[in-house]
Amino acid sequence: MYNFLSFFIGVLIAIMIAFNGTLSDNLGNYYSLIIIHITGFIVMIGILFYKKLKISFKNNIPLYLYSAGAISVFTVMINNLSYTALGVSLPVALGLLGQLLTSLAFDSYGFLGMPKVIFNKKKFIGLLIITIGIYIMTFI
């Protein structure tokens, strides 16, 4: 089930880049960023009300973990800028490569307290195939 959900995230990211990029082309990057994040905020408030959940902040969580929202703003902004020049597939492919390399570093070294996961031969072969594919998509 989690494999399917992870695949589904990829589908949603491609749809998101297309929608956000088109919105950005029509309204401008900064206005579209505001609309995108306000819309997400409203949806999350609706989900919290529907599930009767309360927002709670914990004192023992490092402050930098709350910066994910800021990272999201830059992610959407850069995708919107890239979409105009590259379409949908290249930002997704290059973003996947960036995610893959960064996640392998997090897994291998346990950055930010993440559990270490061994980098094995299968992962190297997969990384090599993906990198070659993205190189072909980008430069050939």
Instruction: Report pLDDT digits (tens) over 42-101.
Output: 999 999 999 999 888 777 888 888 888 899 999 999 999 999 999 999 999 999 999 999
Over residues 100-111, the mean pLDDT reads 92
State the helix-helix crossing angle for 2-27 and 68-86, rounded to 10 degrees. Answer: 70
Over residues 1-14, the mean pLDDT reads 93
Question: What integer pLDDT is reported at residue 61 of this predicted model?
Answer: 85
The domain spans of the chain are: 1-87, 88-140
The structure's pTM equals 0.82
Instruction: Let me know if 64 is exposed, middle or buried by CB neighbors in 10 A (0-12, 13-18, 19+).
Output: exposed
